[in-house]
């Protein structure tokens, strides 16, 4: 059975404007790879209702899971929850379970649950809450769309709570050979090897580190023995360059 | 006149698999903001012909510019040039001008222009070359699609050569007020202010730095005087918290 597939939607004007550097994609990609869910595409879109609704509709129809980050705070530009509800045709309002979580949090910190803060209890009908151990305000899962915060520490904590509940597939097996030789010298042998071992994929990712350069050749496959066989062939080909 | 719009396509299995962290999006976003070209969306997609062709067709039809990074090296998984040509209905083959650049480069370094290296001279008919001062192999512009390398240093150098040739718009004016107060306390006043100053947008981006937290409020607009007026109103609202 093929692995479940996933897409990510990063919601954030500030990333597109070059002010903030997203780190949630890298975090999600790494965790999904361990889980055996294949991240197939990611999009960074603006804080705009049209863009959010369109991306959620398109990607939730195409993948087993969609993960969003950003836009679920208390300010007027936090429109993700309402847009996801609209995209999937769900009603949305302040929900009692989410309100109770916020109430307990603000009671404990001696603060008031203001109208602005109550916005963070707007949860679509039928959604499951995603816990937020950092700052209480929950994310949610509506059908196959998982809505999480943009602040990296909260995103990471929500994801850690969410992932064990999702049925994963087989983690992809991969191994990497680092070769300090120009990629253009590896290309011919690598292409032939890829043709001879059709159960594996061979990716070549050039690197530069000061005056050293070369490529990381990544072998991927469904089982460890085949990947190991691919690595052995690779080492034999590029033995002189083997550096780890 | 509105600014030109742009989209980015990051081509890279290795980013979706969590092995590599993309930095070209952040680089492009910053440079475009200075240039007055509005980056409206970005996608990270797999090294797959179907995904590349579909993304290029969709985004080149919707935006003034599309910038791609990745997949133009010499190995079998470098398929971007051929996919962009196919997406836009252009013929592609080894082109004499690109071959001459590579020939000169390899002559100078005492190396042979092998068949694998010649792949990097595959350039679509009608495309303009984008210079590569780092490692010679050129990128190209085909219609409104700018195809560049994935290695960050090369991407940055290609972009530096390309951007001055693109007609820009008005750089967006923005200024930021850092407020060390929970976003939920800022939300109400901020929403009212945004309603009163419709020529400006007010974005609120929460931060956490150890035990300090708050929000960066970013004011954006078309001219400096209006943005300055917005900043003044913001400071008056959140004066006690003004920290820069």
Write the pLDDT tens digit of every residue in A143-176. Answer: 999 999 999 999 999 999 999 989 887 777 889 9
> If DSSP codes are grouped into helix, strand and coil, which group holds residue B75?
coil
Using a CB-CB cut-off of 8 Å, the residues of chain B touching A204 are 73, 75, 77-78
Measure the CA–CA gap between A100 and A94, rounded to whole angstroms. Answer: 10
Q: Is pLDDT of A83 > 50? A: yes
SS3 string, B186-215, reads: HHHHHHHHHHHCCCCEEEEEEEEECCEEEE
Of A18, A28, A206, the CB nearest to B30: A18
Using a CB-CB cut-off of 8 Å, the residues of chain B touching A201 are 77
Using a CB-CB cut-off of 8 Å, the residues of chain B touching A13 are 203
Measure the CA–CA gap between B80 and B84, rounded to whole angstroms. Answer: 6
Using a CB-CB cut-off of 8 Å, the residues of chain B touching A44 are 25, 41-43
Q: Which residues pair with B67 in a beta bridge?
A: B8, B146
CATH class as words, domain A174-241: alpha beta
Which tokens go with A222?
């469904």
The residues, any chain, with a CB within 8 Å of residue B234's CB and separated by 6 or more, are B177, B193, B202, B217, B219
Residue A110: DSSP 8-state: T
Using a CB-CB cut-off of 8 Å, the residues of chain B touching A76 are 187, 190-191, 194, 202, 204
Residue A241's pLDDT band (cuts 50, 70, 90): very low
| Min Cα–Cα distance to chain B from A30, Å | 4
* The pLDDT of residue A43: 98
Which tokens go with A203?
């990716």
Of B20, B182, B194, the CB nearest to A76: B194
Using a CB-CB cut-off of 8 Å, the residues of chain A touching B26 are 15, 18, 21-22
Interface with B, mutate which of A11, A13, A17, A65 (most B CBs under 10 A): A17
* The pLDDT of residue A209: 78
* The pLDDT of residue A240: 58
Share of chain A above pLDDT 90, in %: 74
Concatenate the DSSP letters of all residues of A134-182 into one string. TTS--EEEETTEEEE-SSHHHHHHHHHHHGGGS---PPPEEEEEEE-S-
Query: Would you identify the CATH topology of the domain B173-241?
Result: Alpha-Beta Plaits (3.30.70)
* The pLDDT of residue A225: 93
In whole angstroms, how far apart are CA A178 and each of A59, A203, B49, B76, B78? Answer: 35, 12, 26, 17, 18
Interface with B, mutate which of A49, A75, A189 (most B CBs under 10 A): A75
Taking CA atoms, what residue in B is nearest to A185? B116
Cβ <8 Å between A15 and B25: yes
Burial per residue of A156-193, b for 16 or more beta-carbon CB atoms within 10 angstroms, e otherwise: bbbbebbbeebeeeeebbbebbebeebbbbbbbebbeb
Q: Is pLDDT of A242 > 70? A: no
In whole angstroms, how far apart are CA A79 and each of A133, A147, B178, B186, B214? Answer: 22, 11, 22, 16, 19
B93 CB burial (10 A radius; 0-12, 13-18, 19+) = exposed
Domain boundaries defined on chain A: 5-165, 174-241
| Min Cα–Cα distance to chain A from B189, Å | 10
In whole angstroms, how far apart are CA A10 and each of A1, A21, B20, B91? Answer: 29, 11, 18, 35
Measure the CA–CA gap between A43 and B41, rounded to whole angstroms. Answer: 7
Which tokens go with B60?
């080149």
Cβ <8 Å between B17 and A33: yes
Cβ <8 Å between B41 and A114: no
Using a CB-CB cut-off of 8 Å, the residues of chain A touching B18 are 26, 28-33, 39
Q: Is pLDDT of A118 > 90? A: yes
Measure the CA–CA gap between B149 and B86, rounded to whole angstroms. Answer: 19
Measure the CA–CA gap between B87 and B83, rounded to whole angstroms. Answer: 6
Write the pLDDT tens digit of every residue in A201-230. Answer: 898 888 877 788 888 899 988 889 999 999
Q: Residues of chain B whose pLDDT is less than 50?
A: 241-244
Average pLDDT over residues A99-116: 93
Measure the CA–CA gap between B119 and B137, rounded to whole angstroms. Answer: 10
| Min Cα–Cα distance to chain A from B81, Å | 16
User: Which CATH superfamily groups domain A5-165?
Assistant: MoaB/Mog-like domain (3.40.980.10)
* The pLDDT of residue B240: 58
B212 CB burial (10 A radius; 0-12, 13-18, 19+) = exposed
């Amino acid at each position: 059975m093929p692995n479940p597939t996933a897409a990510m939607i990063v919601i954030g004007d500030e990333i597109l404007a070059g002010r903030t550097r997203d780190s949630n994609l890298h975090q999600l990609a790494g965790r999904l790879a361990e889980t055996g869910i294949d991240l197939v595409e990611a999009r960074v879109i603006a804080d705009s209702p049209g863009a959010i609704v369109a991306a959620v509709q398109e990607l939730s129809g195409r993948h087993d899971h969609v993960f969003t980050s950003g836009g679920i705070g208390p300010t007027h530009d936090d429109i993700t929850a309402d847009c996801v509800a609209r995209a999937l045709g769900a009603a949305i309002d302040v929900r009692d379970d989410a309100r109770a979580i916020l109430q307990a949090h603000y009671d404990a910190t001696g603060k008031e649950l203001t109208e602005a803060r109550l916005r963070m209890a707007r949860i679509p009908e039928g959604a499951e809450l995603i816990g937020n151990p950092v700052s209480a305000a929950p994310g949610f899962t509506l059908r196959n769309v998982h809505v999480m915060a943009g602040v990296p520490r909260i995103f990471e904590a929500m994801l850690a709570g969410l992932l064990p509940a999702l049925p994963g597939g087989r983690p992809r097996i991969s191994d990497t050979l680092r070769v300090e030789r120009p990629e253009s010298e590896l290309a011919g042998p690598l292409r032939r090897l890829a043709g001879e071992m059709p159960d594996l994929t061979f990716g070549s990712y050039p690197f530069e580190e000061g005056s050293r350069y070369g490529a990381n050749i990544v072998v991927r496959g469904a089982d460890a023995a085949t990947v190991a066989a691919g690595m052995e062939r690779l080492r034999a080909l590029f033995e002189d360059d083997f550096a780890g």
